[in-house]
């Protein structure tokens, strides 16, 4: 899947709804989700016997971050780096490191 085309499509449909989501807002929203369980709301949607672990969730988060969020128009959220460093310090030293 071409990330640039996906973002263009996303922005197109947001425009049709008269809505915008800026890069800072997307970053803030994504990083806030890390304060909650990343797997809690997904597990009820999965078939029996299919596991979705915190490691799976972090891998998916990073894929979305690096392939989509950072490609959105606009500057990063002003607290992104600070928040990422805090997450690295408190939870996951390898978080969002390529």
Q: Three-state SS for 47? A: coil
Domain ranges for the chain, please list them.
22-90
- Residue 64: what pLDDT? 94
CA dihedral 32→36→15→2, nearest 10 degrees, is: 90
Average pLDDT on 67-93 reads: 94
Contact yes or no for 95/87 (Cβ under 8 A): yes
| Res 54: pLDDT | 86
d(CA 96, CA 98): 6
Provide the pLDDT confidence category of residue 82 given band limits of 50, 70 and 90. Answer: very high
Provide the pLDDT for residue 1. Answer: 85
pLDDT in tens, 18-74: 999 999 999 999 999 887 777 778 888 999 999 888 889 899 999 999 999 999 989
- Structure-token pair, residue 19: 């809505």
Alpha carbons 81 and 50: distance in angstroms, whole number? 34
């Amino acid at each position: 899947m071409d990330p640039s085309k996906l973002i263009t499509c996303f922005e197109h449909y947001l425009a049709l709804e008269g809505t915008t989501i800026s890069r800072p807002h997307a970053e803030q929203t994504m990083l806030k989700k890390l304060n909650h369980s990343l797997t809690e709301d997904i597990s009820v949607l999965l078939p029996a016997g299919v596991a979705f672990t915190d490691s799976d969730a972090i891998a998916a988060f990073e894929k979305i971050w690096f392939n989509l969020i950072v490609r959105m128009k606009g500057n990063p959220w002003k607290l992104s780096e600070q928040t990422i460093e805090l997450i690295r310090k408190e939870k996951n030293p390898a978080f969002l490191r390529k």
